[in-house]
Structure 1
Amino acid sequence: MDLTQQEWASKLAEDTNAIILDVRTPEECSEGMIPNAINIDIFKGQGFVYAVQELDASKNFYVYCKAGGRSSQACSMMNELGIENAYNLMGGFMNWEGEKTV
């Protein structure tokens, strides 16, 4: 499900069952991340699938990349792998105005 920056941030703030997932490359993550995010690079292909299968499907996943394209794709893949609640951050990290770690 695609959410605007505001929707994503407010839903995340109220969610006690949330996991933040950054699907960018390690190089991109070195430029900063949303606090408490875990990184699984979508470009790892089958490795990404294996890593997603290890996740707790009962959690709500807040997914982002640089601009929103890869995270949208990741959410679709996660849905196919049995994770019902995957929320894509429209506009991605480059438009993120919330807290960041460097």
Structure 2
Amino acid sequence: MVNPAEVPTASVSDLPSEGLVLLDVREPDEWSAGHAPEALHIPLGELPSRAAELAELPDDRPVYVVCRTGGRSARAAAWLNAAGVVDAVNVAGGMKSWQTEGRALVSDDERTPPEVL
């Protein structure tokens, strides 16, 4: 298994503004409360069974993997790279950094403002 410390990592400020492929591996309640508008949601525990969905993503650019603060996404990126599913890059600081950097957030319930749980 790949050591999560050896996973390619990028900060939110380094993420491309165009053509960003973002995979959110947080749990459903975290996703519902607030997520990036274009993100794909596959909870960490479901990655192995849903890897085929990732194979449909564009393969000409990396898939940036995000969770709340970067721990789960590092494990997910390590697994994805080791399995050869996609070229995965961990997003350092996760959705907490995403929010701090002022990136767009949406929630599943339009009546409540999005937040990062």
Q: Which TM-score tier does this pair reach, normalised by the shorter chain? A: 0.7 to 0.9
Q: Deviations over 1:29-80 (max 9, x none)?
A: 0110011101000023642545545655454211100010011111111111
Q: CA RMSD in A?
A: 2.1
Tell me which residue corresponds to 2:29: 27
Residue number among 62, 81, 84 corresponding to 2:83 in the alignment: 81
Normalising by structure 1, report the TM-score.
Answer: 0.77
Q: Is the 8 A contact 2:51 2:85 kept in 1?
A: no
Structure 1 counterpart SS, 2:17: helix
Q: Is the 8 A contact 2:55 2:86 kept in 1?
A: no
- Give the aligned residue type for 2:17: A
Q: How many angstroms apart in 2 are the aligned matches of 1:13 and 1:27?
A: 26
Shift of 1:20: 1.1
Unmatched 5+ residue regions in structure 2?
1-7, 108-117
Rg bigger for which structure?
2
Q: How many angstroms apart in 2 are the aligned matches of 1:90 and 1:74?
A: 13
Structure 1 counterpart SS, 2:73: helix
Q: Which moved more, 1:56-65 or 1:67-76?
A: 56-65
Tell me which residue corresponds to 2:40: 38
Normalising by structure 2, report the TM-score.
Answer: 0.69
Aligned residues: 97
Residue number among 59, 65, 88 corresponding to 1:63 in the alignment: 65
Q: How many angstroms apart in 1 are the aligned matches of 2:36 and 2:47?
A: 23
Q: How many angstroms apart in 2 are the aligned matches of 1:42 and 1:56?
A: 20
Q: How many angstroms apart in 1 are the aligned matches of 2:53 and 2:27?
A: 14
